[in-house]
């Protein structure tokens, strides 16, 4: 068989027959606080893509308390998938992922989380069709595991100390990101100090302000973060204040990480090129798909900006999609915070991610390498 004939056969086999989307509301083990919201249930859009060969691919898009972290809500994602994005993909070969991204871009502006969920499902389906892990379709893995970070975000220092010690004892996480910005800075710093005193000497602590400070706040309080040995500060200022981010980056002895301020390639160019941060958090929900994530990572690396594997409390399904993309990057300097499967009361997958020796491990099976649990999905699916 010629290469052209083989390509034609694969295209026909992976043509998209149907797309469906469901809203999932999964309970978390404890409240998760950010600077502008608090949640006890995590919202997902759960996507199924069925190919002409009968293979089903699964994808997931995550939000934090509705359209507070970004403009998308699970309700908006479902409407836009059903009305605009799915019709654009029906009949398109899922193996042509770049062309699929172009079709989605033409069908709807932004909507990056919805697009990333569909992109993930297509990647899963094509990997299963070819019986290869998803990372093979993205260039191949350069690592099989990642240093893992756990987020402390209840706001109760005593509870967080016990939570962190439990993670260390289990061998799951020994690096911690502490959510700040939902209290006044002095209260946040007192809580951070309590964690510093109680946790083992040398414990890596990252401060995530979630856009909760002003430039003046940062100038005033960054010396305290230095004294506490904080290794990294994530998005301390509002996303739109890129010039101010660049100013504080020149004053800070602690690296600044860009997150909410960078979704698009243009924003990556502006943020990295202007020196608004020396680290960049990568998330599929920000960039719209695996290839776009890799393009943003390339811009960052060309500018000398280090990379961090961000998350939005994904289950093992969404986290696996991220890990397959992260595994192909030349460097993931800061590891990844994909702790979502462990904060859920029930993971959405029957064979979820493996956490051992303070690392999260890349799944090895075909496609994304994890299997959604239909009973769990049905249990937490919104009943409309």
The domain ranges of the chain are 3-132, 137-372
78 included as an active-site residue? no
Q: What is the pLDDT, as a whole number, of residue 346?
A: 96
286 included as an active-site residue? no
- Give percent of the chain above pLDDT 70: 96
Residue 25 neighbours by CB distance under 10 Å: 12
Q: What is the pLDDT, as a whole number, of residue 38?
A: 62
Question: The sheet that has 232-234: what strands, in order across it?
Answer: 149-152, 175-179, 204-208, 232-234, 256-258, 279-282, 306-309
**Residue that is written with structure tokens 């002895």 in the block:** 253
Angle formed at CA 363 by CA 280 and CA 113, multiple of 5 degrees: 45
User: 3-class DSSP state for residue 152?
Assistant: strand
Instruction: For the domain covering 137-372, report its CATH number.
Output: 3.20.20.120
258-302: per-residue pLDDT in tens? Answer: 999 999 999 999 999 999 999 999 999 999 999 999 999 999 999
Question: The sheet that has 38-51: what strands, in order across it?
Answer: 16-33, 38-51, 56-62
pTM of this structure = 0.95
- Token pair for residue 242? 């890129």
Q: What is the pLDDT, as a whole number, of residue 309?
A: 98
Weakly modelled stretches of the chain, pLDDT under 50:
none
In degrees and rounded to multiples of 5, residue 258 shows phi and psi of: -80, 135
Distance of alpha carbon 377 from alpha carbon 372, whole angstroms: 7
- Selecting among 179, 283, 286, 342, the annotated active-site residue is 179
Q: What is the pLDDT, as a whole number, of residue 64?
A: 82
Q: Are 55 and 128 in contact (CB under 8 A)?
A: yes
Q: What is the pLDDT, as a whole number, of residue 34?
A: 64
Q: What is the pLDDT, as a whole number, of residue 67?
A: 76
Q: Which residues, 6 or more positions from 5, have their beta carbon under 8 angstroms from its beta carbon?
A: none
Q: What is the pLDDT, as a whole number, of residue 6?
A: 80
Radius of gyration of the chain (CA): 20
- Selecting among 60, 267, 337, 359, the annotated active-site residue is 337
Provide the b/e sequence for 183-207 (b: ≥16 CB within 10 Å): eebeebbebbeebbeebeeebbbbb
Hey, which residues does 50 pair with through a beta bridge?
18, 56
Closest CA to 263 of 289, 233, 237: 289
Q: Are 234 and 205 in contact (CB under 8 A)?
A: no
| Strand 149-152 with 175-179, pairing | parallel
Q: Compute the half-sphere exposure of residue 78: CA atoms within 13 Å on the CB side of its CA.
A: 16
Q: What is the pLDDT, as a whole number, of residue 192?
A: 96
3-132 to CATH, choices 1.10.10.10, 2.40.50.100, 3.30.390.10, 3.40.50.720? 3.30.390.10
Q: What is the pLDDT, as a whole number, of residue 1?
A: 58
């Amino acid at each position: 068989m010629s290469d052209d004939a083989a390509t034609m056969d694969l295209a026909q086999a992976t043509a998209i027959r149907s797309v469906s989307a469901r809203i999932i509301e999964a309970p978390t083990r404890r409240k998760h606080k950010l600077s502008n919201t608090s949640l006890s249930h995590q919202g997902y859009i759960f996507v199924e893509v069925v190919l002409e060969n009968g293979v089903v691919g699964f994808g997931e898009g995550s939000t934090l308390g509705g359209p507070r972290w970004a403009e998308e809500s699970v309700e908006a994602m479902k409407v836009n998938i059903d009305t605009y994005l799915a019709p654009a993909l029906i009949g398109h070969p899922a193996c042509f992922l770049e062309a699929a991204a172009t079709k989605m871009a033409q069908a709807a502006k932004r909507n990056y989380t919805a697009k990333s969920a569909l992109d993930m499902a297509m990647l899963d389906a094509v990997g299963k069709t070819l019986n290869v892990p998803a990372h093979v379709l993205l260039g191949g893995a350069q690592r099989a595991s990642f240093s893992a970070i756990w987020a402390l975000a209840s706001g109760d220092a005593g509870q967080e100390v016990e939570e962190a010690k439990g993670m260390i004892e289990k061998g799951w996480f020994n690096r911690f990101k502490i959510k700040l910005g939902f209290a006044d800075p002095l209260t946040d710093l007192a809580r951070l100090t309590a964690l510093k005193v109680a946790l083992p000497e040398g414990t890596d602590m990252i401060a995530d302000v979630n856009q909760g400070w002003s430039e003046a706040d940062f100038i005033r309080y960054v010396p305290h973060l230095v004294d506490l040995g904080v290794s990294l500060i994530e998005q301390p200022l509002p996303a739109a204040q890129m010039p101010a981010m660049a100013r504080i980056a020149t004053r800070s002895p602690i690296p600044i990480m860009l997150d909410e301020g960078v979704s698009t390639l243009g924003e990556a160019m502006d943020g990295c090129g202007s020196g608004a941060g020396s680290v960049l958090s990568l998330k599929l929900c920000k960039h719209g798909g695996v290839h776009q994530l890799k393009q943003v990572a390339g811009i960052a690396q060309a500018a000398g900006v280090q990379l961090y594997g961000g998350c939005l409390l994904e289950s093992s399904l969404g986290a696996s999609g991220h890990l397959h993309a992260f595994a192909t990057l030349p460097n993931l300097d800061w590891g990844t915070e994909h702790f979502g499967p462990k904060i859920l009361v029930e993971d959405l997958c029957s064979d979820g991610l493996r956490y051992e020796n303070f690392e999260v491990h890349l799944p090895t099976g075909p496609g994304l390498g994890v299997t959604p649990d239909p009973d769990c999905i049905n249990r937490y699916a919104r009943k409309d």
